[in-house]
Each structure stands twice: as structure tokens, then as C-alpha cells.
Amino acid sequence: MKVLLVDDHPLILAALQSVIRGLGDDVTVAGVGTDREAREVLARDADHDLVLLDLQLGETDGFDLLTELRQKYPALPVVVISASDRASDVIRAIDLGAMGFVPKRASNDTLFEALRLVMSGGIYVPPMSLGFSVAPPPPSDGDTVPDVMRTRPVDFDLEEVASHAAASPHQQAPASLEALGLSRRQADVLAYLLKGMPNKLIAREMGLSVETVKDHVAAVLRALKVSSRTQAVLAVSQMTQRAGAGAPGWKPSK
């Protein structure tokens, strides 16, 4: 497995390299400190299996680099490693296509868990409350280290996620994937949503109309009691982590 680390702090970069090598004898790690170096490494060799990206890269906005990497290398998983564990940053990173978000305060075990989950097809986010006080709006076409790295729970600040939903009576997300009661079609749509696929592409893959896919997306959001695709990803991630299930069990049927 080839991993690219992008962090402008030499000590953190060295520590991360040491930790990542502990994943296995077949792991090779390249470390760079700037967005320019990251671009150069991937331009020379795009055959990497994983990128770990710090959001603070000097004057560079890590979110901008995340967006660029996801657009240019859509098959390359990117996991954000950040000193921040603010809910707004987690949501934004997942919105932009990150497959995971690990606070730098996390333990080595947490980092290993996150990377194994991502490499098996799942999405990792730090533990957080998913009791969204929001009501699902009508669906849009929305195409849409050593111990210096311990995860502490964080709560969603509804002011931070106001752009994602409108306030309504408190609702609790289902406790498990099995409790969702989705139909086979809806489960397939959820599987594609977890891959970040837009409605038009889901419709093409499933041989359905875009309007039908919108209906299925709306049903999935209602079942999860969330109001956006990003919240759906977060909810499923938290449920699978609580269950110790590894990667989400939703795979599109063929």
C-alpha cells in the first residue's frame, strides 16, 4: 500500500510516517510539507492508495487542496488529519469528498481503525452526537501518530450546520442500519450515496429515472432522520462504528 502524507509540521509528519508504517510490511509512505510537493508527487506517480491531508498547510487552505485532489484523482481516498475536531470542519471535509476525518489528538489505535475502515470502503468520522434537530427538506438534485494525535466526543453545534438544514422538533437517528427498514432499491441508493455519487449517475447505474432516484434519496434521508447527504454519511458511519461492523454493509445489488 502506498500512502502520501501531507503536513507542513516536520515533527508531526515524521511521527505520522512512523505510525503509518506500522500498518504492515507492505506499506510505503511518502511525506511532503506543501501542496506543491503533493501535486508533484502525484503527477509523477498517481498510483497511490491513500492520502492523509492536514488542513493547515501554511498559507494554503487544506479544503481547497482536498477539493482539487478529489476532482483530479476521484478514485484516490483522502483522509483529513486535523488539529481541529469542530463539527463544521468534519461536515465540510466529508461534503468535499474526504473518506475520513481524524483529529490529531486521536490515539494510534484510533488512527489505525480509521485507516482500515477507509481502505475497506467505509468512511470514518470522530465520535459525535447525531441527534440532529432538523427536518428533511425536499431533496435537491444535489450532485452534490504517537499520542500527540485521544479522540474526544464532540457535539454538533446547530448554528454550525444551519446551512445544511432547517430547525424542527428533535429527532433521533436510528440506532442501527438494520433498524432503517429500507427496501432493496433504497439500500442500493444508500450504497451509492455513501460513494458520493450524484443522482444522475445513480440513475444511470440503476437504470432508473432521476425523479425515481430523488424519491429513493428522500426516503433514505427520512429513514435516517437527517436532512442532507453529508448527514446521511455521518449517521451511517457512526452506526457502523458503534456496531463494530467495519465498512458499511450496503453494497449495490447487481
Does 80 score more than 70 pLDDT? yes
pTM of the model: 0.63
Q: What is the pLDDT of residue 164?
A: 35
Q: What is the pLDDT of residue 157?
A: 32
Length of the chain: 254
pLDDT, tens digit, for every residue of 205-242?
A: 999 999 999 999 999 999 888 888 888 888 887 776 66
Q: Give the closest residue to 177 by CA, choosing from 241, 94, 114, 120.
A: 241
12-16, 54-58, 99-103, 231-235: segment of lowest average pLDDT: 231-235
Which carries the bigger pLDDT value, residue 212 or residue 249? Answer: 212
Q: What is the pLDDT of residue 141?
A: 44
Does 37 score more than 90 pLDDT? yes
Ramachandran quadrant class, 194 (left: phi over 0; alpha: psi -120 to 50; beta: rest): alpha
Q: Which CATH number fits domain 2-119: 3.20.20.70, 3.40.50.1450, 3.30.70.1350, 3.40.50.2300?
A: 3.40.50.2300
- Residue 55 gets which letter from DSSP? S
Listed by start position, the domains of the chain span 2-119
Q: What is the pLDDT of residue 134?
A: 34
Q: Give the closest residue to 187 by CA, choosing from 220, 218, 214.
A: 220
